[in-house]
Amino acid sequence: MATIAKDIKHTAGGENKRTLLDMINTRDELTSQSGHYYGVTELSLRDSDPIKYERFYSKIHASVLAARESARYVAASPGSREMGEVLWGLATPEGDTLAVSAGFLSHTAIFPVAVRYMAKNQYDVNDGIEDGDVYAVSDGLTGGVPHPGDFYSFVPICIEGEVIAWAIGINHLMENGAPVAGSWATFSVDTFMDGLVCPPMRTGRKLKQESWWKAIWERRTRAATMNILDDKMRLAGCAMIHETTHKLIEEFGLDYYKRAIREVIEESRGMVVDNMKSTMVPGTYNGCAFRLVKYKGLQNVWAHADKNTLIHVRGSVEPNEKGIKIDAEGSSKWGYHSYNATPGGTDCAIFLGMINSFSHNTKVTAGIELAVQRNYPRGSIYNPDNEFTSNSNLWAQTVALNSIGFGAVSRGMFSRGYLEEAFTIDGNWGAFQGQGTTEDGSAYGFTNFEWLGGTGRGAWCYKDGEPLVWAAWSQMATIGDAEEFESTIPALFYLGRKLLPGFFGYGRFRGGPGNSAVHWCVEPGKHLALSRPNGGLSCTPSVGLGVSGAYPGPGSFMISARGTNLDELIAKGETPRDARELLEQHESGKLKIDNLEIWKTDCPELSLQNNDLFVDAAGSSGGWGDPLDREPQLVVNDLNQGVSTEYQFLSDMHGVVAEKNELGTWELDEKATMKKRADLRQLRLNESQPVAEWWKTERQMVQKTGFNEEVKEMYQQSLSFDKFRDEFCSFWQLNEDYMSEE
């Protein structure tokens, strides 16, 4: 660090220096007037000397990649080092991304939010922004952060008083100091319960944090050691990028740099739009999802939040000549719960699918943001008209909006014939978090990211989805080492960590199976308690629409088993390894449980004692195609390989008949299978009714608003947006003022 520090350019800021806001206004005017980033209509540097241009970009890209690969090994928590829950990037003075490392790619979308906030609030004019300053950001509204558990370091890179770039580092904290311990503060009612929430604030100078900043981690979070390691990691990476960028400008010259960064972004914008046009089918794609927030009875201190809410996630996707438009109109309004989003945080989610789909063969820059038009209506859950909403669990529901957008891309590619790219998009992640105090009085907080790191991929349109290989939020899916989490959480040990049989969406091709772990509490000391941030919830699957006749993947769930006879089972070597085994052992009487609770929605903080068990299941994904079209032998293979264990369920789902031979191996009965399939098709027709008839009956229920309280409130909120009101009233043939007086 010392060799870097001596080279830092101290910037006084001249009288005629343009402010950051001036620069942003110029950028916006040039871009909107021309339709091209920064008014760049010709890539003159690239076309005149492509080798120099690519060499320039390679150096930028190499610097952010090197930051990731080096800084994680300078100092880092297990979440950052093992699982790569990190990203580094370089942005223009206005915050537009120039390059990002591997990792959390879509966080590129938030860079401009924090920079624009600093510009509008005249940080540069009032306080000065100097080369090598360090800014901390973790606020959704002013920093675009998708949840306060994600923490950002911004380092300005200045030449003679002018900001010419920002180096940025991000990671997901192990603990962020909210009332609910962990890094996604479930049960937050407003932003004041979200933990350590920092609007952009200067915490260091000359690439060194101020002394007070360490005290913040120590006094305002429960995992200070981990968080300080990560803070050093982010800054170390930013320092590397800072040094490389100064050297780059020395080599290429400031004039070349200033022109080249505009061309890089415009080049990738054009490429992204071209990719969209060459792989999609224009039109209107609609999708929906629901999320139940079951807070009733759990929020007694804050009476205004003591209610259940059914969140409606509504998205339409329209490819057009400028790229793609994503419209969230019709989604719920914000509420007194932790699942509200902000425009920046929502961007961070929906860009998962967009970057993965359209930036694969070009430079990952702000070009993608220019190609995706977004509409988040004011007052909605994606753009609250209240500045104090909680955003701590934003990710849990915005991932569903991403699934709608990403799913539309997949459907478009299917229709276009690029079937190799078409698969079912789901978003059933999971994790758990909490706090403890050891016997000697040491307090700690933690997050276990495992089921966020790797989930099942949805079925392809030509083969089954794979387990564990996919995480929409990172290119490098990994669930991390069990031992790392055991060392992070002193009182919890794994009894099992495996795929959960049958836990996926069914179809012609099935989704990748989800995962399940059995966590065993051993001598917790004075206290151990955990909760779930609940990425997906089994009461309301992550996405509302299956693909081509298949079922969406089931949502996540968890089980707490408190007061057990585990010692007896351990002596016999018969402990459960996943959720299914635990339930089966309990049903058979082998595993005795004093207090068994199944959580299909948020679970409050659960205190665990010695030999208590916490079991979770997450990461399932949806199928593709009609289940009766599944190749019968694939069903038999699943039985023989333990992917599914319930013969009768499978037989009725797929119309497959099989028998076990003397070796215990399942064998297909082709003739009986053909008959069963014909019977099931006929049963479908016998048990169904024309939609016209169904509509008439259902309409009467709708006219009488015969929904439960939560569904009714959901419709009241969504109907306050014209687009959904038009659709709803048109579909059910209702008066335009339907439910508007209630």
Please state whether beta strands 613-618 and 515-521 pair in parallel, antiparallel, or not at all (unpaired).
Answer: antiparallel
CA distance 645 to 307: 38
Least gap, CB of 414 to another protein (angstroms)? 7
User: What span, in angstroms and rounded, lies between the C-alpha atoms of 679 and 655?
Assistant: 8
Shorter beta-carbon distance to another protein: residue 443 or 711: 711
**Shortest Å, Cβ 722 to another protein:** 15
Nearer to another protein, 215 or 701 (CB): 701
Q: Which two tokens stand for residue 74?
A: 């300078």
Could you give the count of Cα atoms lying within 13 Å of 178 in the half-sphere of its Cβ? 38
Distance (Å, whole) CA 742 – CA 740: 6
For the residues of 18-35, what is the DSSP string, one character each?
PPHHHHHHHHHHHHHHHS
- Which CB atom, from 220 or from 416, has the smaller least distance to another protein? 416
Three-state DSSP class for residue 452: helix
For residue 408, the minimal CB distance to another protein (Å) is 8
CB of 553 to another protein, least distance (A): 9
* Nearest CB to another protein, comparing residues 103 and 407: 407
- Answer whether 454's CB lies under 8 Å from 470's CB: yes
How far, in Å, are 66, 343, 462, 647, 666 from residue 513 at the CA level?
A: 35, 32, 17, 17, 20
- CB nearer another protein, residue 663 or residue 691: 691
Q: Which is nearer to another protein, 166 or 503 (CB)?
A: 503
Q: Which residues pair with 572 in a beta bridge?
A: none
| Minimum CB–partner distance for residue 705 and another protein (Å) | 8
Toward another protein, which CB reaches closer, 25 or 279?
Answer: 279
Q: Residue 678 CB, nearest distance to another protein (Å)?
A: 9
Contact (CB, 8 A) for 310 and 288: no
| Shortest distance (Å) from residue 598 CB to another protein | 5
> In the complex with another protein, which residue's Cβ is closer, 78 or 541?
541
SS3 assignment for 48-65: HCHHHHHHHHHHHHHHHH
Question: DSSP letter at 242?
Answer: H
Classify residue 9 by its DSSP letter.
P
Determine the length of the chain: 742
Concatenated DSSP letters of 548-595 = TTPPPPP--EEEEEEEE-HHHHHHHT----SHHHHHHHHHHTSS-EEE
| Whole-angstrom distance, CA of residue 348 vs CA of residue 345 | 5
Euclidean distance between CA atoms 394 and 695, whole angstroms = 35
Minimum Å distance from CB 622 to another protein?
9
Q: Which is nearer to another protein, 173 or 530 (CB)?
A: 530
Which residues are CB-neighbours of 443 under 8 A, at least 6 positions away?
222, 435, 436, 437
Rounded to the nearest whole angstrom, what is the least distance from the CB of residue 247 to another protein in the complex?
31
Query: Minimum CB separation from another protein for residue 522, in Å?
Result: 25
- Smallest separation, CB 572 to another protein (Å): 24
488 or 540: whose CB is closer to another protein? 540
Decide whether 284 or 442 has the Cβ nearer to another protein.
284
Give the separation between CA 262 and CA 96, rounded to whole angstroms: 10
